[in-house]
Chain A
Amino acid sequence: AQTVTQSQPEMSVQEAETVTLSCTYDTSESDYYLFWYKQPPSRQMILVIRQEAYKQQNATENRFSVNFQKAAKSFSLKISDSQLGDAAMYFCAYRSGIGTGNQFYFGTGTSLTVIP
């Protein structure tokens, strides 16, 4: 099974500053998908951003962007202009592009605190 590693259990950032959350994964596949999910305290987990492995261009969604380094098997999330509402657990996830299965492999999460 693939493994996803988030080496930062906790991170903090000043409001309006930029923070980068790390994620690495282990796979022998060349076709896969990567995701970042956000889980605010006591609220629903929602998709933040996603990336296809065969696309070199890094995905961006407003203040959220990724730095995808396929050779290094790294998929970090950058949050610009951090807001109080960004405080949450962030999970990195991997899905194989082979077959029709949709099983996700999640990292252990990074708890992000935003300091006013």
Chain B
Amino acid sequence: EADIYQTPRYLVIGTGKKITLECSQTMGHDKMYWYQQDPGMELHLIHYSYGVNSTEKGDLSSESTVSRIRTEHFPLTLESARPSHTSQYLCASSVTGLWGTQYFGPGTRLTVL
């Protein structure tokens, strides 16, 4: 099993709160990703990073922001959470190479009341 961690696993917060979802990997992967996934639905890429100090927005527009100051750490921040942000957030990482297989964390299930 891949060494990629996400905290918290579950989070219930009120509207307007600022939150940070943590993602860390110990595999030394250069690339990291954030996906948004509603239960039983497809994955939507919201952010990705190809290395330290490199971040890009994905295909799905998101009000969240990310940073990549260290290779192993890729946190996602919502400045002011809203009920529309309720979803599951999956973090993944991969290494540049032949397969580029993405390895996923366990996810954070966010509920905004």
Contacts and interface: CB of A to CB of B under 8 A. Distances in A.
A46 B1 contact: yes
A33 B43 contact: no
Interface of B: 1, 31, 40-43, 45, 48, 50, 59, 90, 94, 96, 99-107
A95 B94 CA distance: 12
Contacts of B100: 33, 95, 102
Sort A-B residue pairs by CB-CB distance and give the 6 closest, nearest first: A102-B100, A45-B104, A108-B42, A44-B106, A106-B43, A102-B94
A21 interface: no
A111 to B, nearest CB: 6
Contacts, number: 45
A103 B48 CA distance: 9
Interface in A14-35: 33, 35
**Which of B48, B90, B102 has the largest number of chain A CB atoms within 10 A?**
B102
The DSSP consensus for interface residues of chain B is: loop
B43 A111 contact: no
Contacts of B101: 35, 47, 50
Nearest to B102: A104
B23 to A, nearest CB: 13
9 contacts: A45-B90, A45-B104, A89-B40, A95-B100, A102-B31, A102-B94, A103-B48, A104-B45, A104-B102
Residue of B40, B59, B107 most packed against chain A (CB within 10 A):
B40
A46 B100 CA distance: 14
Interface in A71-107: 89, 91, 93, 95, 100-104, 106-107
* Residue in B31, B99, B100, B103 whose Cβ sees the most chain A Cβ within 10 Å: B100
B43 A91 contact: yes
A50 B103 CA distance: 13
A109 B41 contact: yes
A95 B99 CA distance: 9
A115 B67 CA distance: 44
A87 to B, nearest CB: 13
